[in-house]
Structure 1
Amino acid sequence: MIFNETKLRGAYIIEANPIKDNRGFFSRAWCKREFEQHGLETNIVQCNISYNLKKGTLRGMHYQKNPYSETKYIRCIKGALYDVIIDLREDSKTFGQWVEVELTEENNKALYVPKGFAHGFQTLQDNTYVYYQVTEYYTSEAEGGVRWNDPKFNIIWPIKEPIVISSKDSSWPLFKS
């Protein structure tokens, strides 16, 4: 695996390093040892799949509040998505900044999101599947979020208005630090 740290300290885009032959390829998607060598959290306790029927579906921007804050490792296993994270760590030099990465079944990239970040995505194709590994169990009372179109962050989404978005995601409050 190839680990590329983003401009947001602790957040990585991780690329597959496939071994190819006439059958296709083989590649690690997860290796505790390699993650630990980069100082990344490896205590995965839950794996989730998000199925998204329509192109333009927007999910986010989500996080879990302390003490249930979670690290996420995200990969697109079918289709394509525009994945976005926002640094909400108040002591961070990049507080309030965001980065994006396109995750597709073809590019085999993954996104490592440390604790203290909001996360969301918009699908770029119909029938997109997203696979998450997380370091905390989902705790409904710790759920938090910020609005996908909050002017404080000014995220540039590829599809300006979501085609599908939940009422919860469209009604997250504007961010207040």
Structure 2
Amino acid sequence: MIEGAILKKLIVHKDERGQLFEIMRSDDELFEKFGQCYITVCSPGWVKGWHFHRLQTDFFCVLRGKSKIVLCDKRKKSKTYNQVDEYILTADEPSVLRIPKGVIHGFETFGDEPSWIMNMPTKLYNRKKPDEFRLPLTSDEVPYEPWKSRKGW
């Protein structure tokens, strides 16, 4: 596993009324700081591709559908430099994936329905100076090929 990345399976409480699962708490070992919370929706056949953040850590949770999330560690001082990890996250088995700052990541939807990913980054989005740095899907920086789709960025 990439240094600093953490996958935490969530406990689902079910009864005849439905279910509940806590995604993040301020006393959780994963919790660092709250910046904002948003949902990104990825349509089938598309990739929301390679990007990284210099300042923020991301926390992904799939709320609907199924996604493959790929991380690539390009932090030169990391013990896992150049390592690539794949994670399959689904709404049926909820979990939170911690993506450390500086780690390149992207994701695609599996199946015929869009996937909804909630992110709880540690920083607010700055529209004037975004902390988001993109790379092409076929970037030589990332030693990874098996995206099912070539549509996306």
Does 1:25 pair with 2:15?
no
Q: Which residue does 1:145 correspond to in 2?
A: 134
TM-score (norm 2): 0.86
Q: Is the 8 A contact 1:70 1:134 kept in 2?
A: yes
Inter-CA distance 41–115: structure 2 relative to 1 (3 Å threshold): farther
In 1, Cα distance between the equivalents of 2:97 and 2:146?
A: 17
State how many pairs are aligned: 150
Q: Does 1:44 align with 2:38?
A: no
Opposite residue 62 of structure 1, the aligned amino acid is: H
What are structure 1's unaligned runs of at least 5 residues? Answer: 1-6, 170-177
Partner of 2:53: 64
Measured after TM superposition, the shift of residue 142 of structure 1 is: 3.7
Residues in 1 aligned to 2:100 and 2:53: alpha-carbon distance in whole angstroms: 12
Greater relative contact order, per chain length (Cα 8 Å cut-off, separation 6+): 2
Q: Residue 100 of structure 1 aligns with which residue?
A: 86
What's the offset of the Cα at 1:59? 0.7
The whole-number CA distance in structure 2 between the counterparts of 1:119 and 1:77 is: 19
Shift of 1:28: 1.4
Matched, 1:82 2:68: yes
Distance 1:85 1:118 in 2: 6
Stretches (4+) displaced over 6 A: none
| Structure 2 residue runs without a partner (length 5+) | none
Q: Is the 8 A contact 2:25 2:31 kept in 1?
A: no
For residues 65-124 of structure 1, the C-alpha deviation after alignment (integer angstroms, 9 at most, x for no partner) is: 3xxx21000011111110111112110111111211111111112211111211210111
TM-score (norm 1): 0.75
> How big is each residue's C-alpha offset from its partner over 1:132-171, in whole Å with a ceiling of 9 and x where there is no partner?
0101122345431233233453324351x33x31xxx2xx
Work out whether residues 97 and 153 of structure 1, in 8 Å CA contact, stay in contact via their aligned partners in 2.
Answer: no
Partner of 1:118: 104
SS in 2 for 1:134: coil
Q: Which has the higher helix share?
A: 1
Give SS of 1:122's match: strand
CA-to-aligned-CA distance 1:37-60 (integer Å, 9 cap, x gap): xxx4521111121122x3121012
CA distance in 2: counterparts of 1:153 and 1:88, whole angstroms: 8
Instruction: Give the whole-Å Cα distance in 2 for the aligned partners of 1:28 and 1:41.
Output: 13
Paired amino acid for 2:143: N
Paired residue for 1:136? 123
Kept after mapping to 2: 8 A contact 1:72/1:132: yes
Question: Is residue 84–residue 143 contact of structure 2 (8 Å, CA) maintained in 1?
Answer: no
